[in-house]
Homo-oligomer: A and B are copies of this chain.
Amino acid sequence: MNKNRIEAFSDGVIAIIITIMVLEIKLPHGGEFAALKPLLPVFLSYVLSFVYVGIYWNNHHHLLGGVTKINGRVLWPNLHLLFWLSLVPFATDWMGENRFSAATLAVYGFVLFMSSLTFRVLQTRLVEANEPDSPLAQAAARNWKARLSPLFYSLGIAASFWSAWVAGGIYVGVALLWLVPERRIDHTAANAKTQNL
């Protein structure tokens, strides 16, 4: 088993996912500023999805960075995660083109929900392949964000049918949740490596 090649392949797939989304921003008709206005929902969807795919890359990076042993049982969970991430560009574009209609918000949330579930499956498999008290196992045990995210996405899916603002707000909120404390943990870890959060 070659950890480097799994990382390289995953990096390749995630790099393509995060980049091809921009291909789906269709050129506006006309070359003045006003022509950009109808693109706003598409652009906002793009920003949100760029942040989400970036979060997954960061998490994948941290997850595999803490791994010392790996076996063939992680290949398919890893591909399963990549499968759901690969649907992000479609869900993003559908949502942006239909100005955050209920069904598109629910499908977008479902893709995020499945990505978070499959990320947890991958994490569990990697923990099983390593010692029960490995740093990876400890990090996974206190990874409350990974545990709560699927719940929030479920709330977002339910809210899609009631209010686009609430559903969108939940998706943005979970993204911010992942963005902000990431820094705090890193900062804390740099100052006091022995302290457990």
Contact = CB atoms under 8 A, between A and B. Distances in A.
Nearest to A79: B54
Given A22-B87, A101-B31, A186-B72, A65 B9 contact: no
B94 A28 contact: yes
Contact of A17 (B2, B19, B75): B19
Nearest to A47: B83
Contacts of A8: 7-8, 11
A57 interface: yes
Contact of A57 (B9, B94, B104): B9
Interface string A4-15: 011111011111
Interface residues of A, number: 64
Interface of A: 1-2, 5-9, 11-20, 22-23, 25, 27-28, 30-33, 35-36, 47, 50, 54, 57-58, 61, 65, 71-73, 75-76, 79, 82-83, 86-87, 89-90, 93-94, 97-99, 101-104, 107, 179, 182-183, 185-187, 190
Copies of this protein in the assembly total 4
A90 B61 CA distance: 28
7 contacts: A8-B8, A9-B11, A12-B16, A20-B20, A22-B86, A33-B103, A35-B103
A98 to B, nearest CB: 3
A103 to B, nearest CB: 5
